Structure 1
Amino acid sequence: MAEPSAFWDRMADRYAAQPISDEQAYRTKLARTQSHFTPDMDVFEFGCGTGGTAIIHAPHVRSVRAVDFSERMLEKARIRAAQAGVDNVTFEKGDITTMPIAPASYDVVLAMSVLHLLQNRQAVIQRVFDILKPGGIFVSSTVCIAETARWLGYIAPLGRALGLLPVLTVMDRDQLRQDITRPGFTIEHDWRPKPRAAVFIIARKPN
């Protein structure tokens, strides 16, 4: 993840205060994800933001390691975890493509609202494949800008140069599916609650 942390540090307070746009869809995604959990699983989440999803999932698994490139976001995540009394989740600053992570280390990897914010998306998905155990699950929710707001792709470079926007990559649903299956994943669940909503995908690494 090459995006400088400064943008997300500035956004942390606003992000933490922002309500979930579609609570029902979010709860459905949580439930779908948790249906794959067992108490002995280890989960890795990248782009964890202020930690809401990691904290909700933590009681259902053995451990959650959550990373982000914004220390300000992570500070808020640690506070939220302490307030929730959750002690099996850790929050650390890092980049999934460069962090020292042993192959086949995790049972589940989460990428919630982050793949469309990456310039190196394919390298990230390949790393996800590598650090998952055989039979492991990759869960993602991704905004397909080519289908929802293609105009953002034209103004994003200027917006980023001015510090007003993060990295934004323009892709559609088919391209997202191709990117996920390219390393060898099989897509088991592909859901979009509304025509312009984020695409929620659960994919599995072969045994």
Structure 2
Amino acid sequence: MSLASDARFWDRSSRKYARSAVADRAGYERTLERTRALLEPGDRVLELGCGTGTTALRLAGGVQAYLATDISTGMIAIAEEKHAAASIPALAFRVATAEALMPDAGAFNAVLGFNYLHLVRDLPGTLGCIHALLAAKGLFIAKTPCVGEMNPLIRLALPLMRVVGQAPYAGVFRASELSRWISAAGFEILAIENHAGKGDDNRPYIAARKA
């Protein structure tokens, strides 16, 4: 299993993913509202793991520039189709990882990662890249599943599903561990919030500033 195999999984899943509904619409809308409040009109924003571009299309109109990236060419192709219909000048899509964008160090005022951090294979390394990509005092905003706090059956099933090609890599960590890793990467955590529309879905919304 590798990053390439993860990309192939998402390529195969891209059309089905695009047809799926947002599971927690109220929680998603709260996340969008909170993120808009943190972004400034002059910001240059990078979104990692953008999928088919749904969030990028909702947020890009409020900032100076918005680069949305994903490892999957299939996901980005669908995002480009949606963008062609929406025509948002500030928005661009690209197949890329945080590591591949390192030549753009310091170029972004905000980096977003929604349902993303649990999918990266080297979490400390990726967080270090995100820190480097941000300008001074830049914001990192994340909302990602903490698999370590989910049903134990899910944690047991994931490795088996990966073996048969039914799931990508997924890191297992708790919210407290994620917070420590973000802090260790050089960020000051500003807020940790629960945006679930009902109950707790184990996906904390975290806003952090580059220290």
TM range (shorter): over 0.9
SS in 1 for 2:205: strand
SS in 1 for 2:136: strand
CA distance in 2, matches of 1:38, 1:99: 22
CA distance in 2, matches of 1:102, 1:62: 17
Q: Deviations over 1:76-114 (max 9, x none)?
A: 101111111212211111121133433211000010001
- Unmatched segments (≥5 aa) in structure 1: none
SS in 2 for 1:139: strand
CA distance in 2, matches of 1:7, 1:86: 29
SS in 2 for 1:33: helix
SS in 2 for 1:12: helix
Percent of aligned pairs sharing the same letter: 28
> Does residue 1:83 correspond to 2:85, yes or no?
yes
Displacement of 1:183 in angstroms is 1.3
- Corresponding position of 1:2: 3
- Corresponding position of 2:14: 12
- Corresponding position of 1:196: 201
- Corresponding position of 1:125: 127
Count of aligned positions:
206
145, 152, 155: which one aligns with 2:154: 152
The letter for the 2-side match of 1:148 is M
- Corresponding position of 1:53: 55
Displacement of 1:149 in angstroms is 2.8
SS in 2 for 1:99: helix
Q: Which runs of 4+ in 1 moved over 4 A?
A: none
Matches within 5 A, 1:34-183: 34-183=36-185
Normalised to the residue count of structure 2, the TM-score between the two structures is 0.92
User: Any conservation in 1 of the 2:48–2:69 contact (CA below 8 Å)?
Assistant: yes
SS in 1 for 2:186: coil
- Unmatched segments (≥5 aa) in structure 2: none
User: Any conservation in 2 of the 1:66–1:90 contact (CA below 8 Å)?
Assistant: yes
CA distance in 1, matches of 2:143, 2:177: 14
| Cα RMSD (Å) | 1.5
User: Any conservation in 1 of the 2:102–2:132 contact (CA below 8 Å)?
Assistant: no
Normalised to the residue count of structure 1, the TM-score between the two structures is 0.94
Displacement of 1:195 in angstroms is 2.0
CA distance in 2, matches of 1:168, 1:203: 23
